Amino acid sequence: MIEITSDTIERVETLLAGVPKGAERAFTNAINRGLSHTKTQAFKQVKAVYAVKQSALNEATKTRVQKASSGNLAGYVSFSGVKIPLYKFSVSPKEPGKKRKVRAGVMKGGGIALSLSIASAVNTAFLFIFLNKSKDIAVGTVVKSTLFYAAKMCVFSAIASIPLIFFGANISSLFSTGNRLIDDGGYLAITAAIFAAIGVLLLVLTKDPLLKMILKKVKR
């Protein structure tokens, strides 16, 4: 999550004092460019790791972008989708035949995924180095809070997954119509609802500050 500090807001407002709603428009444009970049990079990263066709990825993924405005300096990108059939990945041979072994590659090989992960880690390290030189950003505080929140989300996700591990097969047995869209979609909807309900309950019980902020935005 990217946050704009009060000091940054004051500096931008000072610089654009002579422009009507200059600061709001500047922040809005910056946030929306970041959202667009996030969406593009998300698909690129998936394509870099998985050997899936672009058309199949687009069909299976639903992307929602909530842009910022001068009256609401907040935005987000959300991704959701369904399972992609195995034949839409890298399959060999392409044509069926008798007594022919079929191989399917889901992830790209050759160390591409590892090299990209290392490159991303290096880029992130350099980013924090440059940010650390800025007096307006407390990088140490940001890193600590981010790591703590990420760890908390991992723990919550693990807890929310426990019922699905034990009852996933029972839920799947409820959908045996033979229609892939209905069967997979129904299973995904119920498991996602259970996972989300447990996750939200854990956030409420721990009085999560981000959840409080979202609820305040909704009430407005």
Whose structure tokens read 């992130």? Answer: 124
Collapse the DSSP code of 178 into the 3-class scheme (helix H, G, I; strand E, B; otherwise coil) and give the result: coil
pLDDT of residue 110: 46
Q: Give the pLDDT confidence score for residue 40 in this predicted structure.
A: 85
CB 77 within 8 A of CB 137: no
- Asked if 86 and 101 count as a contact pair (C-beta separation under 8 A), the reply is no
Say what the pTM is.
0.39
- Which residue numbers in the chain have pLDDT < 70? 1-6, 9, 94-101, 104, 108-121, 123-143, 219-220
